[in-house]
Chain A
Amino acid sequence: MSLLTLDHVSKSFGALKVTDAVSFEVAPGEALGIIGPNGAGKSTLFNLITGNIAPDEGRVLFDGVDVTRKPPMSRVAAGIGRSFQIPQPFTHLSVFENLLVAANFGGGHHGHHAGEFCMDILDRTGLAGVADATSGGLSLLQRKRLELARAMATSPKLILLDEIAGGLTEAECGALIDTIKSIHAEGTAIIWIEHVLHALTSVVERLMVLNFGKMLMIGEPDEVMASPEVKEIYLGIEV
């Protein structure tokens, strides 16, 4: 049985159809990459999965349950974790507290165990040294790591990563990919929107291409990238 199913999901903002009858499935533990030009509706798709936006048509199923009308907090508890493209830490909370909030309310971890669980994640994401720092003062790399760490703290079955490698140097990107690989190795399913293609293809098993809200193609990364249609639309190459 698939972990996440989108069944003909559509969403319009005014006359603009940002998500157009998108259907796909993600198996438990699978890693799926999403690519597409700016404005293709990638982040909107995430908002539809997390419940921040309600679809006009179609259904979203998670773990065998129809969550189409469920609010974001129920979906977090069910196991959908998310990181944002533009990091949105709770700036008045320390790095550790940011994780603790996610672990307490999203992951259902309590008491001492929650604290240890969070410290472990901070270790894995290279943030242990700044655990007590106010998250408002972090660097971009640290904020990106915090996005990932906080999503991990909700104990997700599926983690949504939105351009987490964007704006990072090659070396910074490498460490982040290693962490993402380790999350994947533990059996957490991943949907990852990314423009940094080599980062994406080193992790995901399948790749989806979105364009003007429509799913253009989904399949093995090599196959998708070799398609002339994708080359033309996504990479802007005339063939």
Chain B
Amino acid sequence: MIWVDTIVQGILLGGLYALFAAGLSLVFGIMRLVNLAHGDLIVLAAFLILTVVNLLGLSPFVAVLIAAPVMFAVGWALQTYVLNRVLGDDILPPLLVTFGLSVVIQNGLLEGFSADSQKLSAGPIEAASLPLGPITVGVMPLLTLISAVAVIFALNQLFYRTKLGRAFRATSDDAVTAGLMGIRPRNVFAIATGIAMVVATIAALYLGIRANFDPSIGPARLIYAFEAVIIGGLGSLWGTLAGGILIGVAQALGAAVNPEWQILAGHIAFVLVLLIRPRGLFPRAND
């Protein structure tokens, strides 16, 4: 029974990793841009939520409603004024720019908030749990997974049911031809990065409530997000959820064997998937 419990906890943890990864997956899927600052942007969003909580005395769940539109604007501006200028046939410039951005955000946060560990406090709900048959699950981890599924579902609806979604997919296929259909690819990219930052803000909420954070933890979140995206298959949002859950379960199982093996087990699972299915579990049909 302890193994069932471990696997369930791993699946719930996977929800958090899927939230880290969803924004990265969205941006990569639409503009083939690997944003190396994604983890730091999540941490930035966590500090933004913290600031709203401290200034206005709100619950983090309410503060996220203020932080999300701000982060949308940050994403929109970042794409419009920085990333659109470096997108092109060469993949190196965007990598360098987002790597630089990662350093800037980390040091900016260090300057503004110091290196102290911070945490978002959600009150009694943090300790609440639900009996689920023979095992007990925490309400917060459960809420995290539900949110991850809801976010992926919403993004899929956006992609396949709306005018904006068709513009996303058309631009992703061929930005030049999309321009000839009247689509403005740069606007589409800016909106996509804005949406990715809203998802990053949701990820930041659960990150900040679950664990301590400080300005230096972004790159490690980026690695988990990366692994989830690649395990799932580049460009597949449901695949990204599956990838997050796989890493979560691997980490939980590794930790159950020996607490020192938690992180390593996740990375080993990633390498195994790459060995067996180099294009991920759910690659898009004709890429």
Contact = CB atoms under 8 A, between A and B. Distances in A.
Interface of A: 50, 52, 71-73, 76-77, 82, 84, 88, 90-93, 97-98, 100-102, 104-107, 134, 136, 150, 154
Interface stretch (B10-18, B66-74, B172-180, B193-201): B172-180
Nearest to B284: A92
B177 A88 contact: yes
Given A88-B174, A92-B284, A102 B169 contact: no
Contacts of A90: 169-170, 173-174, 177-178
A101 B181 contact: yes
B182 interface: yes
Most buried by B among A82, A90, A107: A90
B230 to A, nearest CB: 20
Contacts of B172: 92
B173 A73 contact: no
Given A52-B176, A92-B284, A136-B286, A106 B181 contact: yes
Contact of A91 (B179, B183, B286): B286
Contact of B166 (A77, A88, A97): A97
A101 B167 contact: yes
8 contacts: A52-B176, A72-B180, A73-B183, A77-B182, A90-B178, A93-B169, A106-B182, A107-B182
* Minimum-distance CB pairs A-B, first 6: A106-B182, A105-B182, A90-B173, A76-B182, A72-B179, A102-B181
B184 interface: yes
Given A91-B173, A92-B169, A92-B286, 7 more contacts: A73-B180, A76-B179, A76-B181, A90-B170, A90-B173, A105-B167, A107-B182
B20 to A, nearest CB: 25
A101 B170 contact: yes
A47 B40 CA distance: 41
A80 to B, nearest CB: 9
Contacts of A72: 179-180
Contacts of B163: 100, 104
B43 to A, nearest CB: 33
Contacts of B173: 90-93
Given A52-B176, A90-B174, A154 B166 contact: no
B41 to A, nearest CB: 27
Contacts of B174: 88, 90
A76 B184 CA distance: 11
A161 to B, nearest CB: 13
Given A104-B163, A136-B286, A93 B170 contact: yes
Contacts of A107: 182
A136 B184 CA distance: 23
Contacts of B167: 101, 104-105
Nearest to A84: B177
A150 B176 contact: no
Residue of A82, A101, A106 with highest tally of chain B CB at under 10 A: A101
B284 A73 contact: no
Contacts of A82: 180
Given A90-B174, A91-B286, A76 B180 contact: yes
B181 A105 contact: yes
Interface in B170-224: 170, 172-174, 176-184
* Most B CB within 10 A of own CB, among A71, A73, A134: A73
B100 to A, nearest CB: 29
A105 B180 contact: no
Nearest to B179: A72
A76 B176 CA distance: 13
Given A91-B286, A93-B170, A105-B167, A52 B180 contact: yes
Contacts of B181: 76, 101-102, 105-106, 150, 154
Given A104-B163, A104-B166, A73 B184 contact: yes
A73 B185 CA distance: 9
A150 B167 CA distance: 14
Contacts of A71: 179
A100 B178 CA distance: 12
Contacts of B178: 90, 101
